[in-house]
Amino acid sequence: MLNKIFDPDNLVFRMLARGVDIVGLSICWAMLCLPIVTAGPATAALYYTMVKVFRQKEEGAFGLFFRSFVGALKTGIPLTVLCEAVGVVLAFGYSVMANNISTGSGVIMYMAYYVALVVPIGMACYLFPMLGRFDMKLGALLRTSIFLTLRHLFSTIVQVLLVLEVAVFIINNWWPVLFCPALLVLLLSLFQEKIYAKYLTEEQREALNPNLQQEEAEMEERRQKREARKRGKENK
């Protein structure tokens, strides 16, 4: 009985371990974002680690995180500086538009600008996860992020809304930074991993996800069970 209670594979212990991973990775991400120029590599590492640990069931979350962070620095720092510069320009444009909504035309321009922000913010939603998941140069990352943002516009809009809501939540209440960053990238991965898979060969998909065949077999098994239950209800 005691062996089962204190077994590391026990459900309670696994949940506690995952909770520690979520909090620990979120704190590591926040600390590595403090230098500002390393925010991009930190985000790439967080996405990569959450996918590997929570979706692909790999172990050693913190080792994966720091190795990915170091590997992303070369491309990630200039990419972060570029994104931050664009962000400053967009924030200035937003303030100008917000200060000129006293007229009808000002309201229209403000709304148009607000909607147009989906594209650059959407690009950022793809840029750093791709930096973590793929070996790509800066130019290729920018081109691919534009393509994915426009090609999968609905998914992009949902991701942008998620990012903005979580950002506002963290800004207004400091304590969500203890877990929200890790949970947010895990949510984003639900959209992005499916999107990436559409543009990869079978070999590339297996290289990115060693458990791909097992996952597909489990999905097929669940599909067959749903169909069996459906047929059972129809027969009744």
Torsion angle of C-alpha atoms 132, 144, 212, 185, degrees rounded to 10:
50
Which tokens go with 126? Answer: 């793809």
- The Cα 104–Cα 156 span in angstroms is 29
pLDDT digits (tens, 9 = 90+) for 145-196: 999 999 999 999 999 999 999 999 998 988 999 999 999 999 999 999 999 9
Those residues with Cβ within 8 angstroms of residue 125's Cβ, 6 or more apart along the chain or in another chain: 149, 156, 159, 160, 163, 188
Predicted pLDDT at 7: 53
Tens digits of pLDDT across the chain (236 residues): 445 555 555 666 678 888 899 999 999 999 999 999 999 999 999 999 999 999 888 888 999 999 999 999 999 999 999 999 999 999 998 888 888 877 777 788 888 888 899 999 999 999 999 999 999 999 999 999 999 999 999 999 999 999 999 999 998 988 999 999 999 999 999 999 999 988 887 766 666 665 545 555 555 666 666 676 766 666 65
Predicted pLDDT at 2: 45
- The Cα 199–Cα 204 span in angstroms is 9
Exposure pattern of 106-145 as b/e (b: 16+ CB <10 Å)? eeeebeeeeeeebbbbbbbbbbbbbbbbbebeeeebbebb
For helices 118-133 and 39-50, what crossing angle results, to 10°? Answer: 60
Mean pLDDT score across all residues of the chain: 85
Predicted pLDDT at 1: 47
User: Of 175, 179, 163, whose CA–CA distance to 19 is shortest?
Assistant: 179
Predicted pLDDT at 58: 87
Q: What is the DSSP string of 106-145?
A: HHHHHHHHHHHTHHHHHHHHHHHHHHHHS---HHHHHHHH
